Chains A and B, each alone.
Chain A
């Protein structure tokens, strides 16, 4: 790569922090270069041309000056590719969206292109923006889909899932497999048949199926817990929990995760 390039690419805004009087340092997840941090000078001015394009979860087209010797690139332009209008109008959607971008931020390395993760993230945010119901299903779906892209997909075996009885079954945190009670996989977590079937569906099914899947409150809570445990087991301390802790303070609204 040349000493100094002008990069034009699509990006999802992961997070930002104020810098000096009017600037912001923004972490972008770009389609071409992976995670990149940029300096957006004057981004906090009322009349800044960046407008709302540098808010977390925004899907933008950015232009920045890239210099391989520095860790903070200079942003030149940013404009919405598609504005997620509805995503920012509902608290339940914001909560899920922020958890998604927090997860991507935590699991992605700087300047490591991951187009498949970019596609999953974009698809999830787009679905979150458009969907009206069952949006809670999106969060475990995105986690398991990113796990798959990063090489730790749950090893779901259809016969084993079918063999789980009403007495419940087991999820192995080691490989994400679902097993009947009689099995003895490592790092086992017991759960109900409904929760394990939901886990298997979330790991394998397409997004439109996920958004049609009805789960009762208890099953949903348990599936969220199982997925979180699986992700924590696979990614250890890289799995982020900061926004989860804040969202747990905000419970009483919609959703219980």
Chain B
């Protein structure tokens, strides 16, 4: 059912664009907004606009920040020889909250998910490789040429023209919002990277991303580690599933 006020209806429509907000929740939110003092509503409106106007991505680590480079990348106190790779900015915040990590970060912007059609070219994986080894861009160009030549040679057997028409999503298509950061990434790195820590989620997509990055960085000679997987603190060993317990045993450490 629609509201009698067009502006109320319009706000309901706008709220339903937010994740996990259905029409009923949107209506409840609008009713709440109607009861709020005007100053508070203006504050919310200003905050929404400010997020779009002022927030940007750090051109080095791609975290959401108010300035570029972000406070972490520009901090002198950070260990610049370690890069912790996370999926999203929210994961960075979770690691920062621990207070245990003093290195730099790299935000991928997601994980490789073949079933959802998200591949390496949709993420900031090349930018990571360039941070670890600035000469990666040159070797990448050489690899692409070699691969193209090999494909051309192999496709010689294919008879009909439609055989060769299979799309390749990765062919030279950088992520749309990467353009600004890609050129500058790596230039500000002063210290040589000595370790890359992969802090991706322990699921199939996280595994795929971790193995892919590990293979990509292997020729660069930089140790690539992954945060431990296994039992959560306060969890019960008896109720852990086999795969989790297996990983916990695999990643056991000295007491």
Chain A residues within 8 Å of B, Cβ to Cβ:
15, 20-21, 46-47, 49-53, 55-58, 79-80, 83, 85, 88-91, 94-95, 98-99, 101-102, 189-192, 195, 217-218, 221-222, 225, 229, 241-253, 256
Contact = CB atoms under 8 A, between A and B. Distances in A.
B253 interface: no
A51 B244 contact: yes
A207 B121 CA distance: 35
B121 A252 contact: no
B109 to A, nearest CB: 15
Contact of A225 (B121, B158, B212, B241): B158
Contacts of B119: 245-247, 249-250
5 contacts: A53-B243, A94-B207, A94-B211, A189-B160, A242-B117
Interface string B197-211: 000001110011001
Chain A contact residues: helix, strand, loop or mixed = mixed
A118 B213 CA distance: 33
Given A15-B115, A98-B114, A250-B112, A55 B212 contact: no
A252 B147 contact: yes
A135 B121 CA distance: 26
A50 B159 CA distance: 49
Contact of B243 (A49, A51, A190, A243): A51
Contacts of B186: none
Contacts of A21: 20
Given A91-B215, A221-B154, A249-B119, 8 more contacts: A49-B239, A51-B241, A52-B243, A53-B243, A98-B208, A218-B154, A247-B114, A249-B121
A15 B147 CA distance: 31
Interface string B202-238: 1110011001100110000000000000001011000
A4 to B, nearest CB: 25
A190 B159 contact: yes
B135 interface: no
Nearest to B123: A249
A222 B212 contact: no
B211 A191 contact: no
B195 to A, nearest CB: 21
Contacts of A95: 114, 208
Contacts of B202: 52
A250 B212 contact: yes
